[in-house]
């Protein structure tokens, strides 16, 4: 008898076990594992396959990775994972990766932005084949990115503002023109008094949007008014947003439209003005940013600006995979458009 048929209940079977049980060499087993079966005797192949089945053998990717120097794993660093927004991207990144037979190693930096260097280190130690760096557009130190050794895997930066360009592929959002589109939309509806609830100050997107707001005003010959701009910092408590909204409602002349820092802020603003006796959009228009699913569920449905996070995730994943595969030479700096999604909460000015 060739094999003792001892399924080794406790330890997992190795390629050697299979070879032994099937009465062949490890090389031969390795060949069938890797599909090199053209020049193989039919019954050898069968015997090996059966043995694999019988021993419930699963090749160790760890061992394989050690020799091939590839882990078939992509590191994804995500900050602000609380926001469902970027998590949608994660979903699609994973799907694309999986179709290319890659897995996702997830790391978050929700707590301390300072950890970032350390997290990168760990990903390097685990020898991921590539890294997608998906983050809030917060201004932060990114020196550690520059310090990456040449042997480091390719990196794609999504929504990441860094002072140094040129080394990594990037995918960004056109926050400025997204806001400009909102301004055009509102002005077209006859609005002349447009307010803006501002996002967190430490984010690049907040400033880009404020620029879009100002440019929109300028383009339509409308004055910029300090008291039309209040904090809608969405990392704060929603009561702050409510306060800011109430403050806006009491400014004279009263704004006929409010643009929230994001959909949540806008939703609270809508609630607030409604409870103050104003009708949306007849008395006042409300516009959000991000275009999250719940915009459709509000009453009235919230007009918003779509942030193409899903597209960004897909693009990043594909960029990374292509770079890993060795295609592509030039560094790409993609800027994705943010398009307006008009719904019921924005209407003609009173």
Partner DNA sequence: TTGAAAGCGGTACCAA
Partner DNA sequence: TTGGTACCGCTTTCAA
**How far is C-alpha 86 from the geometric centre of its chain's CA atoms?**
4
If binding is defined by CB under 8 A, does position 81 make contact with its own copies? Answer: yes
Tell me which of its own copies, DNA, none is bound by residue 328, counting a contact when its beta carbon lies within the kind-specific cut-off of 5 to 8 angstroms.
none
Q: Report in angstroms how near the CB of residue 257 gets to DNA at its nearest.
A: 59
SS (H, E, C) the chain: CCCCCCCCCCCCCCHHHHHHHHCCCHHHHHHHHCCCCCCCCHHHHHHHHHHHHHHCCCCCHHHHHHHHCCCCEEEEEECCCCCHHHHHHHHHHHHHHHHCCCEEEEEECCCCHHHHHHHHHHHHHCCCCEEEEECCCECCCCHHHHCCCCCCCCEEEECCCCCCCCCCEEEEEEHHHHHHHHHHHHHHCCCCCEEEEECCCCEHHHHHHHHHHHHHHHHCCCCCCHHHEEECCCCCCHHHHHHHHHHHHCCCCCCCEEECCCHHHHHHHHHHHHHCCCCCCCCCEEECCECCHHHHHCCCCCEEEECCHHHHHHHHHHHHHHHHHCCCCCCCEEEEECEEECCCCCCCCC
For its own copies, the binding residue among 4, 6, 10, 35 (CB under 8 A) is 10
Looking only at residues 289 through 308 of this chain, which bind its own copies when binding is defined by CB under 8 A?
292-294, 296-299, 301
Nearer CB in complex with its own copies: 159/177: 159
Q: Which residues contact 175 (CB under 8 A, 6 or more apart)?
A: 137, 204, 205, 208, 209, 212, 338
Number of other CB atoms surrounding residue 347 within 10 Å: 22
Residue range at the interface with its own copies (CB under 8 A); choices 92-100, 135-143, 175-183, 249-257: 92-100
How many residues bind to its own copies according to rule CB under 8 A? 59
> Is-contact 214 225, C-beta < 8 A?
no
What does the per-residue mask of binding to its own copies show for 139-168, with x meaning CB under 8 A? ----------xxx-----------------
Q: Which is nearer to its own copies, 100 or 124 (CB)?
A: 124
Output the smallest distance, CB 275 to its own copies, in A. 7
Chosen from DNA, its own copies, none, partner binding at 95 (C-beta under 5 to 8 Å by type)? its own copies
Binding to its own copies by residue 252, rule CB under 8 A?
Answer: no
Q: Is 236 in the site for its own copies (CB under 8 A)?
A: no
121 binds its own copies per the rule CB under 8 A: yes
Q: Which residue's CB is nearer to its own copies, number 4 or number 10? A: 10
Nearer to its own copies, 195 or 265 (CB): 265
Q: Per CB under 8 A, which region of 71-79, 198-206, 315-323, 335-343 contacts its own copies?
A: 71-79
Residues in contact with DNA by CB under 7 A are 11-12, 14-16, 23-28, 30-31, 33-34, 39-41, 44-45, 57-60, 62-64, 66-69
Contacted by 40, from DNA, its own copies, none: CB < 5 to 8 Å by type: DNA
The binder of 15, among its own copies, DNA, none, by C-beta within 5 to 8 A per type, is DNA
Q: Pick what 219 binds: DNA, its own copies, none; C-beta below 5 to 8 Å, kind-dependent.
A: none
Give the residues lining the site for its own copies (CB under 8 A): 9-12, 56, 58-63, 65-66, 71, 73, 76, 81-82, 84, 87-88, 90-91, 94-95, 98, 103-108, 110-111, 121-122, 124-127, 149-151, 238, 264, 267-268, 270-271, 274-275, 292-294, 296-299, 301
């Amino acid at each position: 008898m060739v094999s003792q048929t001892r399924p080794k209940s406790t330890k997992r079977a190795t390629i050697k076990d299979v070879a032994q049980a099937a009465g062949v060499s490890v090389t031969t087993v390795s060949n069938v594992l890797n599909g090199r079966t053209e020049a193989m005797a039919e019954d050898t192949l069968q015997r090996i396959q059966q043995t694999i089945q019988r021993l419930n053998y699963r090749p160790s990717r760890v061992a394989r990775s050690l020799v091939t120097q590839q882990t078939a794993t992509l590191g994804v660093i995500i900050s602000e994972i609380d926001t469902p927004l970027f998590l949608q991207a994660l979903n699609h990144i994973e799907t694309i990766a999986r179709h290319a037979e890659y897995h996702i190693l997830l790391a978050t930096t929700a707590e301390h932005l300072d950890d970032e260097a350390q997290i990168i280190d760990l990903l390097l130690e685990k020898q991921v084949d590539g890294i997608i760096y998906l983050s809030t557009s917060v201004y932060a130190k990114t020196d550690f990115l520059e310090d990456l050794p040449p042997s480091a895997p390719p990196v794609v930066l999504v929504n990441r503002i860094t002072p140094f360009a040129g080394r990594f592929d990037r995918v960004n959002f056109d926050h400025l023109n997204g806001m400009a589109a909102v301004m055009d939309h509102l002005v077209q509806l006859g609005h002349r008094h447009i307010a803006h609830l501002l996002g967190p100050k430490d984010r690049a997107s907040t400033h880009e949007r404020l620029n879009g707001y100002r440019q929109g005003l300028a383009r339509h010959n409308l004055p910029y008014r300090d008291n039309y701009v209040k904090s809608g910092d969405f990392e704060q408590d929603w009561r702050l947003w409510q306060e800011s909204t109430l403050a806006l409602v009491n400014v004279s002349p009263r704004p006929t439209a409010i643009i929230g820092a994001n959909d949540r802020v806008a939703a609270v603003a809508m609630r607030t003005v409604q409870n103050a006796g104003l009708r949306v959009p007849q008395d006042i228009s409300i516009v959000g940013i991000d275009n999250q699913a719940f915009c459709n569920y509000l009453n009235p449905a919230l007009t918003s600006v779509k942030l193409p996070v899903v597209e960004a995730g897909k693009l990043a994943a594909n960029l990374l995979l292509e770079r890993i595969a060795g295609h592509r030479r030039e560094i790409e700096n993609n800027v994705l458009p943010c398009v307006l999604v008009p719904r019921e909460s924005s209407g003609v000015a009173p």
